[in-house]
Amino acid sequence: MPTGTVRLHRVLRAPAERVYKAFLDPAAMAKWLPPYGYTCTVEHMDPKVGGSFRMKFSHFKSGNGHAFGGRYLDLVPGQRIQYTDTFDDPNMPGEMTTTVTLKTVSCGTDLDVVQEGIPAMIPVEMCYLGWQESLLQLATLVEPDLPG
């Protein structure tokens, strides 16, 4: 069954350690990861190599959603996150692999995301659009330099 790949790049005005944390903190993930119009419930997150996670996206208007989970393959603080995703829906078979690369640059963090193995049922352009929305929300979470 054919699968797709998306590649995204963004520079964030935040330190790499803060961006890294946003990918591994359940409350942060629930805030920035779901695309517009969706909510996220993080049911489980054990952010260590070999650890697993499970979450659900729900369409706010209809309440319909999809659950998925995966495992962490590689974690290098402030530099790299690699994990798998598998959907519960049998119409979306296979395992996706997402690799997030962080690099400190003069104005913050250079972020590259590559997601491979997207199920054929999901149009690649819709996945890309969802990631663009998610990364905008990530920026609103990590870029403010608020006292605290």
Residue 78 within any structural domain of the chain: yes
Domain that residue 53 falls in: 4-142
Does the residue 14 lie in any domain?
yes
Counting every residue, how long is the chain? 148
Q: With 70 as the cut, is the pLDDT of residue 94 above it?
A: yes
b/e map of 51-87 (b: 16 or more CB within 10 Å)?
eebbbbbbeeeeeeeeebbbbbeebeeeebbbbbbbb
Asked, for residue 148, whether it belongs to a domain, the answer is no
Q: What is the pLDDT of residue 147?
A: 83
Domain count across the chain: 1
Assess if residue 13 is contained within a domain.
yes
* Domain CATH number, residue 75: 3.30.530.20
Is 147 inside a domain boundary?
no
Using a 10 angstrom Cβ sphere, with 0-12 exposed, 13-18 middle and 19 or more buried, the burial of residue 121 is exposed
Whether 36 is in a domain gets the answer yes
4-12 vs 52-59, strand pairing mode? unpaired
What's residue 2's pLDDT? 58
pLDDT at residue 146, as a whole number: 85
| Percent of the chain clearing pLDDT 90 (strictly above) | 91
pLDDT value of residue 1: 58
Average pLDDT, the chain: 95
pLDDT band at 104 (very low <50, low <70, confident <90, very high): very high
Identify the band that residue 4 occupies on the pLDDT scale cut at 50, 70 and 90: very high
Instruction: With respect to residue 16, please indicate whether it lies within any of the assigned structural domains.
Output: yes
Inform me whether the pLDDT recorded for 80 exceeds 90. Answer: yes
Q: What is the pLDDT of residue 19?
A: 98
pLDDT digits (tens, 9 = 90+) for 12-35: 999 999 999 999 999 999 999 999
pLDDT digit string, tens, across residues 46-76: 999 999 999 999 999 999 999 999 999 999 9
What's the CA gap between 65 and 145, in Å, rounded? 34
The whole-angstrom separation of Cα 112 and Cα 82 is 12
- Which among 79, 84, 129, 138 has a CA at the least distance from the CA of 104? 79
Instruction: Mention every residue, 6+ apart, whose C-beta is less than 8 A from residue 113.
Output: 6, 7, 8, 9, 98, 99, 100, 101, 131, 135
Residue 98 resides in a domain: yes
pTM value is 0.94
